[in-house]
Amino acid sequence: MMLKPSIDKLLDKVPSKYSLVILQAKRAHELEAGAKATKEFKSEKSTLRALEEIEAGYVTIHPDPVAKRESVRRKAEVERLAKEEEERKIKEQIAKEEQEEGQKV
């Protein structure tokens, strides 16, 4: 049985087999979690879909993983703060409505 895409083509995109396995696993997890695909797939399984994306050059190893992790942390923090602000506004609106309701009675 022959692997499609071939290991030789994949190793042209990634420096080592170890890096390839890690990149494939991470991308497969992202696809399973609902990440948007970068292309149409021939394969059904997320692991093979990840290999197809790596072969096409759509998924690569980030040149500065520390910066990438920091960027992801910052994005998560911004999203968390936005969600907290939205919840605060909703609570203020509820309190305002309850106060107006209390004045009408």
Q: What is the pLDDT of residues 77-90, one digit of tens each?
A: 999 999 999 999 99
Is residue 14 domain-shared with residue 25, that is, in the same domain?
A: yes
Look-up of token digits 């497969």? 28
Claim to verify: residue 48 and residue 74 sit in the same structural domain: no
Query: Residue 3's pLDDT is what?
Result: 63
Q: Quick check: 19 and 28 in contact, CB under 8 A? A: no
Q: What is the number of structural domains in the chain?
A: 2
Question: What's the chain's Rg over C-alpha atoms?
Answer: 23
Highest mean pLDDT among 10-14, 38-42, 61-65: 10-14
Same domain, 31 and 81: no
Name the percent of the chain lying above pLDDT 90: 45
Distance CA 52, CA 39 (A): 9
Q: Is the domain of 3 the same as that of 51? A: yes
pLDDT digits (tens, 9 = 90+) for 20-54: 999 999 999 999 998 888 878 788 888 888 999 99
Cα–Cα distance, 38 to 81 (Å, whole number): 29
Tell me which residue range forms the domain holding 14: 1-60
Q: Which residues contact 91 (CB under 8 A, 6 or more apart)?
A: none
> Quick check: 2 pLDDT over 70?
no
One domain for residues 49 and 88: no
Count the neighbouring beta carbons within 10 Å of the beta carbon of residue 26: 13
pLDDT reported for residue 105: 62
Do residues 49 and 2 both lie within one domain? yes
Predicted pLDDT at 24? 93
Q: What share of the chain is helix, strand, coil (3-state, %, to 5)?
A: 70, 0, 30
Residues 81 and 95 in one domain: yes
